[in-house]
C-alpha cells in the first residue's frame, strides 16, 4: 500500500499560494528567495528532487536571515525542503524540518490555519511511510478536522489527509474503516476535479489495494485499469504511474497471472528508478513483488539479487524488511 502522493503536490501548491498571501516585501533578497522557491517547485514537479534541494536550501537561508527564524515564510521554505527530502527517502531530515515548520506555523498563523493542516498531513504521511501508525493517525485526523472547520467537508484540499488516513487503516488491516474514507476522498475529487484527475488515479489505486487485501479481486481490477489509464495519460514518467503499474501487478500475482504481472512490475521498477533514483524506499516494495513472482515460478537465480537489493534499500531507509505478498 502506498499513500497519496498528491499530499506532497498539494503541500507544494499551497506554498506557492501562501507566498503572495503572506505579503512578501518587494526587495531584492526576498525576490531572490521567491525565485529560488519557484524554481525548486518546478524541479520537484518534474521529479528532479536532488536538483531542487540546493535551491530550496538557499531560499530558506535567505528568509531566515532577512525575516528571522520564526517567520511564516521561513516555515514555508522549511516545508518545501522537507518535501524534497521526503521524496529522496531521507526521512530523518524530513521529520526534523516538518516539525520545525509546523511549530512556526502554529505560532505565527494559529492552530487552525490551512498551512498547519498541510504540515500535519505531510508529517502524518511520513510516519505512515515509516509504519509509525500510532503517530500518524492523530495528525491526519487533526488535519482533516482543520480542513472541515475552515473550508468545508467537500474542499479538495482535504483529500490528501483523507487518503493518507485511509492508508493508515488499510496497512493495519482495518479495511472496514479504510474503505469509506477512500470512497469519501474519491467522491470529493470527482465532484471538484472530474473523473480523470491524477489525484483520482491515486485514490482509485489505493482503494483497489484495499479490495485486493480482502480478496475482492473483481472489484479491484476495474478500479486499477481506470487508474492506470489516467496515469498513462497524465504522468507517464512519474511515481503515480509506477504505483498504478505495481498495484495492478499485485492483483495479477494474487490470481497467479504471472505472465501478466511480470512486465508491469519491471516497468513499475524502471519508472520509479527514473523518477526517484535507484535507492529510494519506494523501490523496495516492487522488488519484493518481483521476488515473490520469481519464487512462485521457482526462478531462484532471478529472485536472489533482487531480494538483496530490497534488503539493502530497506536497511538504509530504516524500514521493516519483508515482501508485500
Q: How confident is the model at residue 8 (pLDDT cuts 50, 70, 90)?
A: very low
Residue 68 in domain: yes
Residue 145 CA to its chain's centroid (Å): 20
Give 174: exposed, middle or buried? Use CB within 10 Å, 0-12, 13-18, 19+: middle
Q: Are residues 117 and 19 in the same domain?
A: yes
* The last residue of a domain, from among 144, 172, 198: 144
| pTM for the predicted model, two decimal places | 0.79
C-alpha cell of residue 306: 533482487
pLDDT at 206 over 70: yes
* The last residue of a domain, from among 144, 167, 201: 144
pLDDT at 13 over 80: no
Percent of residues, the chain, with pLDDT higher than 90: 66
Query: What is the SS3 assignment for 236?
Result: coil
Residue 157 in domain: no
Reported as a single tens digit per residue, the pLDDT across 141-177 is 999 999 999 999 999 999 999 999 999 999 999 999 9
Q: Are residues 7 and 112 in the same domain?
A: yes
* The last residue of a domain, from among 84, 110, 144: 144
Cα–Cα distances (Å) from 20 to 16, 36, 103, in that order, read 8, 15, 21
Among 186, 257, 256, 191, CA closest to 227: 186
Residue 262 in domain: yes
Average pLDDT over residues 26-39: 83
Neighbours of 18 (CB within 10 A): 21
pLDDT at 223: 94
Q: Are residues 120 and 244 in the same domain?
A: no
pLDDT at 233: 86
CATH number of the domain where residue 93 is located: 1.25.40.10
Average pLDDT over residues 100-120: 95
- Total domain count, the chain: 2
Residue 131 in domain: yes
Q: Are residues 11 and 114 in the same domain?
A: yes
Is 224:251 a contact under the CB 8 Å cutoff?
Answer: yes
Q: Are residues 91 and 2 in the same domain?
A: yes
Cα–Cα distances (Å) from 284 to 16, 21, 265, 290, 308, in that order, read 32, 40, 12, 10, 10
- Any idea what the Cα angle at residue 252 is, between residues 247 and 257, rounded to 5°? 155
Residue 126 in domain: yes
| 37-46, 129-138, 202-211 — most confident range | 129-138
Q: Are residues 140 and 243 in the same domain?
A: no
Is 245:283 a contact under the CB 8 Å cutoff?
Answer: no
Buried b / exposed e along 90-128 (16+ C-beta atoms within 10 A): bbebbbebbebbbebbbebbeeebbbbbbbbbbbbbbbb
Q: Are residues 122 and 17 in the same domain?
A: yes
Segments forming the whole domain that contains residue 89: 1-144
Q: Are residues 4 and 135 in the same domain?
A: yes
Is 43:55 a contact under the CB 8 Å cutoff?
Answer: yes
Amino acid at each position: 500500500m502506498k499513500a497519496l502522493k498528491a499530499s506532497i503536490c498539494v503541500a507544494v501548491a499551497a506554498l506557492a499560494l501562501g507566498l503572495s498571501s503572506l505579503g512578501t516585501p518587494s526587495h531584492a533578497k526576498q525576490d531572490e528567495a521567491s525565485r529560488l522557491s519557484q524554481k525548486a517547485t518546478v524541479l520537484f514537479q518534474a521529479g528532479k528532487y536532488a536538483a531542487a534541494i540546493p535551491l530550496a536550501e538557499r531560499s530558506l537561508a535567505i528568509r531566515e536571515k532577512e525575516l528571522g527564524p520564526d517567520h511564516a515564510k521561513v516555515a514555508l521554505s522549511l516545508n518545501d525542503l522537507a518535501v524534497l527530502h521526503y521524496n529522496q527517502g531521507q526521512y530523518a531530515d524530513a521529520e526534523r524540518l516538518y516539525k520545525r515548520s509546523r511549530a512556526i506555523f502554529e505560532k505565527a498563523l494559529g492552530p487552525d490555519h490551512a498551512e498547519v493542516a498541510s504540515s500535519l498531513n505531510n508529517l502524518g504521511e511520513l510516519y505512515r511511510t515509516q509504519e509509525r501508525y500510532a503517530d500518524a493517525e492523530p495528525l491526519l485526523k487533526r488535519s482533516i478536522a482543520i480542513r472541515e472547520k475552515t473550508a468545508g467537508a467537500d474542499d479538495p484540499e482535504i483529500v490528501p489527509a483523507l487518503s493518507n488516513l485511509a492508508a493508515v487503516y488499510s496497512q493495519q488491516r482495518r479495511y472496514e474503516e479504510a474503505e469509506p474514507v477512500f470512497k469519501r476522498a474519491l467522491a470529493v475529487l470527482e465532484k471538484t476535479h472530474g473523473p480523470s484527475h491524477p489525484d483520482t488515479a491515486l485514490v482509485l489505486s489505493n482503494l483497489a489495494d484495499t479490495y485486493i487485501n480482502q480478496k475482492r479481486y473483481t472489484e479491484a481490477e476495474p478500479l486499477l485499469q481506470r487508474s492506470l489509464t489516467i496515469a498513462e495519460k497524465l504522468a507517464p514518467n512519474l511515481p503515480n504511474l509506477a504505483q498504478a503499474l505495481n498495484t495492478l501487478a499485485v492483483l495479477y500475482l494474487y490470481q497467479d497471472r504471472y505472465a501478466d504481472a511480470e512486465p508491469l512490475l519491471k516497468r513499475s521498477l524502471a519508472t520509479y528508478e527514473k523518477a526517484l533514483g535507484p535507492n529510494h524506499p519506494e523501490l523496495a516494495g516492487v522488488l519484493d513483488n518481483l521476488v515473490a513472482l520469481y519464487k512462485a515460478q521457482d526462478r531462484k537465480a532471478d529472485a536472489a539479487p533482487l531480494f538483496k537489493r530490497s534488503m539493502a534499500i530497506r536497511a538504509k531507509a530504516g524500514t521493516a524488511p519483508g515482501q508485500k505478498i
